[in-house]
Structure 1
Amino acid sequence: MNTIYSQVLLVLLCSLGLTASVSAQRAIFVEEDYADEAFDLSNSEFPTWELIPGGPGKDGIPALKDPAFVQAKQDNWLTDEDRVVGVSYRGITKAYPIRILNYHEVINDDFDGRSVAITYSPLCGSVVVYVTETGDEEWELGVSGLLYNNNALYFDRQTESLWSQVLGRAIAGKAAGAELQMLPATYTSWADWKARHPETLLLSQDTGHDRNYDLDAYAYYGETDRLMFPVNHTDERLDLKARVLGLKVGGVYKAYPYAVLATVKDGVTEDYVNGQRIRISFDAEAQAAYVTDQMGEPLPTASMYWFSWSAFHPDTQLHGTPIQDFPTTLSMSLGML
């Protein structure tokens, strides 16, 4: 079945309220397009008809493994304004340009013997970094081509189980329920990161793939509220693509809008989440948030568009608003047409 035609048909059926037809159509869609891909959909946390093909099939977006790096002083292609994902872990500091992540989405890397995945889902603007080890298992992640809530689903090459990028856990397959440890990471400008970490390594353009990393296919995507694929519901407290910093403490989720953090005079926001004191230092020029606990230790956080954070965490608290009932719309977010 033609992929574009199928997606348009799904949206039209949703708009007409034909839920049963949509469910059946999606089930056929996944089966027809991905039967030969051997994903393990057993033990699925979500209805399999909600797992939507996004276009490229399995490994159509090639994840990177064992990437090459250069010293920051060797860089001659990034501008100071270029966005990077910065990670400092186990005494090693690295920067991963969004220009490259746009084309690969997952980078399977190593930090002093620990397996780490740097992940970026352009459709959600979501930056999350994980240790890809659970117990005795070590996972190498690839891009499945499937989406849930407009967000990338990955697969592991060990069991073909599916993993949610935002949730950081396996949502289907033999590994279902396994959760990855999130690491502190910063979504910032190249100028900011290299100024703070002049010793940083920088992901090389020599990825082994023929890609034009100077071309940003998502350059204007963040400037509209249109989504490419459905989400289960939207939260009207912020614009869909307002960028937020997401934090989890215990079982409590809280989001901090960049626009609100930028209004604080000295750039420092102090707060309590589930009884834990946190401190956010926000650089308005770099549009970067650095988060620590009361001991000054970096805390794991994620950066993404509001629609994505609230779709996966519908009970999230939102900094700058009182804790109360809030408008939530059960929706297929049909703004993509």
Structure 2
Amino acid sequence: MFKRVLQALVVLSLTSGAAVADPNFWKHEWPETDFSNTSVKHWGEILSGGPPKDGIPAISDPQFIRASKERGIGPTEPVVTVEITGAEPRAYPIRYLTWHEIVNDTVGNVPVAVTFCPLCNSAITFDRRVKGQVLTFGVSGKLRHSDMVMYDRETQSWWQQAVGQGIVGQMNGVKLTALPTWMESWAQFKERHPDGLVMAEPAFPRRYGANPYVSYDSSQRPFLYNGEMPPHDIPALERVVRVGDRAWPMTRLADIGLVREAGVEIEWQAGQASALDSATIARGRDVGSIRVRDAQGRDLPHDVMFAFAFHAFWPDGQWMLGN
């Protein structure tokens, strides 16, 4: 069913996108956004993902419960783990981020935005402090190279989620600081932090735990993407671990378990379900969990994203193929 809906949306968006890929069309919805200040060279790259501005509601006041009290999350379900010195560890379940995509929170003294773009499988946590102010992020409803375009409520600037950089408005060219967080299974988080904190179910009428993108990561082509496919015969929707401008294919990591090269250590561990496979996230096939550390054993910022997205945003990036 999802594939048929996906195909219809692609046709609709591509046939109408060229006509409306113009800031003059968007100004009625974004009157405070400075479209003259932009790094976007071709407005046709930006398409509507379907929902309007805030049609996917970001969360800005998340509630938490103790991990030991949580009963509804399956053991293999993915969570984004945020561990900041001086604060209790927190888990942000993908079962919620699938439907909200952004959670604005404060962990210890650090204001963070925990983000997840299902269409790119990209889960990155950013520091929300920019130029002396704390920004609050929302979902614009726009996609660029199939990746979520975020916006901040303070300046109404647009931001590219996969790269954490402003692309339209006052914050054009400004980079967000990515934090060293990671995706792992709920069981893996609980094993290390049995009394840690986990985000409680938001008070929205959503089918939490369901995957609205059934079999998406088995598709041949990504949603609303017209760019080049990855090189080296790597499937467009294969997961890769991105560290800076380098990408390690997940299949390689799963085969050998541990890689030490280019100054980083990447460890693969079985036990995490794909959030983009089965109709129920907890039943998704095992795609494994990743930890990325430097030579001193410190966690590093990274992303586990689809190969097409890495190629789109890092066209000159290095593919770590091990041969």
* TM interval, short-chain normalised: 0.7 to 0.9
Contact map agreement 2:30 2:156 (CA 8 A) in 1: no
Tell me how far apart the structure 1 counterparts of residues 80 and 64 of structure 2 sit (CA, whole Å): 14
Matching residue within 258, 272, 275 for 1:268: 258
How far the C-alpha of 1:183 sits from its partner, in A, is 0.8
1:71-220 to structure 2, matched below 5 A, reads 71-92=66-87, 93-205=89-201, 207-220=202-215
| Counterpart position of 1:69 | 64
Distance 1:263 1:5, change over 3 A: closer
Please give the per-residue CA displacement for 1:146-191, whole angstroms capped at 9, x wherever unaligned.
1111100011001100000001011010111111111112111111
Against the structure 1 CA distance between its residues 283 and 5, is the aligned structure 2 distance closer, same or farther, given a 3 Å change threshold? Answer: closer
Identity of aligned residues (%): 31
The answer to whether the Cα contact below 8 Å between 1:37 and 1:58 also exists between their aligned partners in 2 is no
Local SS of the residue matching 2:29: helix
Structure of higher CA gyration radius: 1
Contact 1:119 1:128 (C-alpha < 8 Å) held by counterparts: yes
Aligned equivalent of 1:45, options 26, 39, 52: 39
Aligned with residue 29 of structure 2, among 18, 21, 36? 36
2:259 counterpart of 1:258? no
The answer to whether the 8 A contact 1:144-1:153 is kept is yes
d(CA) in 1 for partners of 2:304, 2:146: 16
Structure 1 residue ranges without an equivalent (≥5):
14-21, 323-337
1:225-282 per-position Cα deviation (integer Å, ceiling 9, x unaligned): 232202432213211111111001xxxx111111111111xx221001xxxx211122
Contact 1:40 1:159 in 2 (8 A): no
Render the CA deviation track for 1:117-167: whole Å, top value 9, x for unaligned.
000011111111111112302110000001111100011001100000001
Residue 294 of structure 1: how far off its partner (Å): 1.2
**Which structure has greater strand proportion?**
1
**SS of corresponding position for 1:101:** helix
Give the deviation of 1:35 after TM superposition. Answer: 2.5
Distance 1:190 1:162 in 2: 32
- Secondary structure (helix, strand or coil) at the match of 2:83 reads strand
Query: Is 1:247 paired with 2:243?
Result: yes
Q: Assess if the C-alpha contact under 8 Å between 2:230 and 2:308 holds in 1.
A: yes
Kept in 1: contact 2:185–2:289 (CA 8 A): yes
TM-score relative to the length of structure 1: 0.83
Q: TM-score, normalised by structure 2?
A: 0.86
The one-letter code matched in structure 2 to 1:182 is A
User: How many equivalent pairs are there?
Assistant: 298
Whole-Å separation in 1 of the counterparts to 2:78 and 2:108 = 25
Offset, 1:321: 4.7
Counterparts in 2 of 1:12 and 1:210: CA distance versus 1, 3 Å: closer
Kindly state the Cα deviation for residue 5 of structure 1 after the two structures are TM-superposed.
8.4
Offset of residue 34 of structure 1: 5.7
2:279 corresponds in structure 1 to: none
Alpha-carbon spacing, 1:208–1:41, altered in 2? closer, same or farther (3 Å):
farther
Distance 1:282 1:288 in 2: 6
The 3 A distance-change label for structure 1 pair 204 and 6 is: closer
Question: Is 2:55 aligned against 1:60?
Answer: yes
Please say if residues 222 and 237 of structure 2, whose CA atoms lie closer than 8 Å, have aligned partners that are also in contact. no
TM-superposed CA distance for 1:52, in Å, is 0.9
Q: Is the 8 A contact 1:66 1:108 kept in 2?
A: yes
Deviations 1:201-247 (A, max 9, x none): 11100x23221203210232112123220243221321111111100
Residue in 1 that maps onto 2:298: 297
Kept in 2, the 8 Å contact 1:85–1:186? The answer is yes
* Change in CA separation of 1:60 and 1:10 when aligned onto 2, cut-off 3 Å: closer
Pairwise CA distance, 1:9: 5.9
1:284 paired residue number: 270
